[in-house]
Structure 1
Amino acid sequence: MNSKLRAVWRVFLFFGWTFWTLIVILFRSSLRRLDIPGGLELRRNWARVGTDLVGLKVQTNGLQDGGIPCIYISNHRSYADPIIALREVKAFPVAKEEFRNWPIIGFAAYMTGILFVKREQKSSRRATLDGMAEVLKQGHSILIYPETKTHNEPTTIPFRYGSFRLAAELGVPIVPIAIDYSLRTNAWIHRYTFVGHFLRNFGRKKIPVTVIYGPPFRHDDFETLLSQCQAWMDQHLLEIQESYRDTYHQPNP
């Protein structure tokens, strides 16, 4: 199959699956049978099937279910990262405000638990941190990308510290996540359009990706907590890249 045709076909499959999942969400909600745990489980099932439909071949290592709320933090390569993480973790992701307006997906995310933030507005960032605190106190976890943008640097770029300060204040653990793809060009850097990047990358027969979950980190000093998590992520990103050494720096076919 032609690579662009394959990518377009995968878009239809993915949005068809998402639309079906949204119908289930709305039906259960109308019957008042959609609580937060149920919504998170529906979303995890959606993410698992959805990533398979678009050709992502996900290898997961190190995931531990401690049974307590935590803040998952991850480096950020692509728009696919949160969906890949949500295959395994039941958490409220923190997303940019514009994601709310994505067709079908934005509304489905809203129905199953998400926090939106306007990163350029200090008041919005403060309100989001308050929302994160409330979610954690209710016994649910958070998924956040403290780099705030996608990039293709070999290790992490500077983090925003708000989630680390919150974790230190509340005494909740942070679980770091390192994610990378078999090709460096899978990273979405913003000189590429979304459509162009998707057609080039998701037209391949398969897209290998590795996700490594770290141990829970705790500290009452947020700067120490940040540096510990960032060091762990940097080390494991380099390990993932080494595992893909035969393909990582090749141009996208």
Structure 2
Amino acid sequence: MFHFISRWLIQVVHWLDFILISLVAWLWALLPQSTHGPLYFHVFRSWCQMFVRALGVRLRLHQNNAKRLPQHYVLIANHPSALEDIGTPSLFPVQSLAKAAVGNWFIAGKINRAVGTLFVDRKSPASRHAAKQAIIDTLKSGQNMVIYPEGGCKGRRIAERFYPGAFDAAMQTGLPVLPVFIHYECQDDFEWQPPYNLVDMLFRFMRSQNPTANFHVFDPWHPENFDDAEAFAETARQQYLVWENHYLGANPPD
């Protein structure tokens, strides 16, 4: 009984923290863009971290890399759940690429626009082309980017294709690709699934019996070791299938 009450009180405190920082970040986002500097980026990452805590999710970072990680990189990851949209920036100093609809959300949209999140309409060739150039410009400015090469939330298993955009950006900028493999210990609760709406998703996260998200980091891949972006992407996908088999017990393809 006391354990239940204490856990409930802790979650109430986490939600109050999240509401407070959301208000601060949203009001700051209404100010001129010139005020949204490095400090706002740190506030955004704290906003993501407090959101994760409010949902009761435990992020676990596993550093499988043999060498120290570079300061500047293109981070790629599989995308089984929507939680990565706040989980990845909680753990890594990265800018994100989000679907265009997110930019129109009343609170989260303004905060993401203020911090410099890039947006893309995947159905529009012009939007995809503009996003590709914006990614390269962001990387050249000294910032890191996270890109999910599956092209969106694809569920608990690796998609049949990795799109080459992230790898092309790495080859054009000369930056290493930092691979992160993500898996959830309660996959049924976290997997992106019907009815595909935010409220249902958040309640599933909060009701999970084991709300643990594992982020496995590996040594970076260097673009000079690959002939083209398509080959780079497929090599990466094959390695993700190996990790999938290792961590999830999936059968690799023939």
TM-score normalised according to structure 1 size: 0.81
Cα deviation for residue 49 of structure 1 reads: 2.1
Q: What are structure 1's unaligned runs of at least 5 residues?
A: 243-253
Partner in structure 1 of residue 122 of structure 2? 119
Matches within 5 A, 1:186-225: 186-204=190-208, 207-220=211-224, 221-225=228-232
Partner in structure 1 of residue 36 of structure 2? 34
Structural RMSD (CA): 3.0
Residues 92 and 143 in structure 1, CA contact (< 8 A), matched pair in contact too: yes
Partner in structure 2 of residue 167 of structure 1? 170
Structure 1 pair 120/144, CA: closer, same or farther in 2 (3 Å)? same
Which one has more relative contact order, counting CA pairs under 8 Å at least 6 apart? 1
Runs of 4+ in structure 1 over 6 Å off: 8-11
Structure 1 pair 196/9, CA: closer, same or farther in 2 (3 Å)? farther
CA distance in 1, matches of 2:90, 2:156: 25
Letter in 2 for 1:34: H
Partner in structure 1 of residue 61 of structure 2? 60
Letter in 2 for 1:227: E
Residues 98 and 119 in structure 2, CA contact (< 8 A), matched pair in contact too: yes
Cα deviation for residue 223 of structure 1 reads: 2.3
Matched-pair identity in %: 20
Residues 151 and 189 in structure 1, CA contact (< 8 A), matched pair in contact too: no
Residues 79 and 154 in structure 2, CA contact (< 8 A), matched pair in contact too: yes
1:47 aligns with 2:51: no
1:233 aligns with 2:237: no
Partner in structure 2 of residue 248 of structure 1? none
Partner in structure 1 of residue 160 of structure 2? 157
Residues 81 and 192 in structure 2, CA contact (< 8 A), matched pair in contact too: yes
Secondary structure of the residue aligned to 1:93 is strand
Q: What are structure 2's unaligned runs of at least 5 residues?
A: 250-254
TM-score normalised according to structure 2 size: 0.80
Residues 154 and 237 in structure 1, CA contact (< 8 A), matched pair in contact too: yes
- Matched positions, count: 236
Cα deviation for residue 107 of structure 1 reads: 0.7
Partner in structure 2 of residue 82 of structure 1? 85
CA distance in 1, matches of 2:194, 2:13: 22
